[in-house]
Amino acid sequence: MAEKYIVRLGYELKEVEVEDGPDGLRVHINGKWHNARLEQVGQPALYALLIDDRPHELFAVERAEGYDIVIGWDRYSVAVGARDRRVPRAAPGDLTLEEHPAGGWVVLSPMTGVVTEVYAAAGDEVAEGDVLIVIEAMKMNNELRARKAGTVREIYVQAGHRVDAGMRLLLLQ
């Protein structure tokens, strides 16, 4: 018997059913059943995902509200709740923001990796969606984009710095 879930993918809600299949799981989403298998490979956050015999590399980091997941070049914030329980809260988006005591928002790294590029500088005006920083994680470059428009007040990292998930990257006001 399939278990039913409500999944929040970014800001979109999906109904998903999951049941055991002959070689892994069967997943029903968007009106179609798929065969899926997920296996951890090497590092704790790296997985091999097989969907309908198509392989994908998946990088997942658990967050308080769910998971930040990278598949190929696409990045998702995912929260899951059982269908008979409450709907999961909105995902935090591409970047987690922490309110700064002096005003503004501190942008936190959503993943562990190495900063390869810093596009913003102190004093720069940025628009929502502008690329601020690029972090390489699992041999993939991840563009971190502004969730809000504002002025960059401080940069806490530079190219070549190793960062952990939750580490402060910059102050945006």
| 82 pLDDT above the threshold of 50 | yes
What is the per-residue pLDDT for 88? 40
Q: Is the pLDDT of residue 143 over 50?
A: yes
- Residues 115, 66, single domain; the answer is no
Amino acid 11: pLDDT: 63
Query: How many separate helices (H) and strands (E) can be counted in the chain?
Result: 0, 17
At residue 86, the pLDDT reads 42
State the pTM of this model.
0.47
One domain, residues 45 and 115? no
* CATH code, domain carrying 123: 2.40.50.100
162 is written with which tokens?
């190793």
What six digits make up the tokens of 82?
């059982």
Whether 40 is covered by a domain: the verdict is yes
Q: Report the number of distinct structural domains present in the chain.
A: 2
pLDDT > 70: percent of the chain:
84
Paired tokens of 65: 């509200």
Based on the fold, state whether residues 101 and 168 are members of the same structural domain: yes
Give the CA radius of gyration of the chain: 18
Residue 144: give the domain boundaries: 96-172
- Residue 89 covered by a domain: no
Q: What is the pLDDT of residue 91?
A: 37
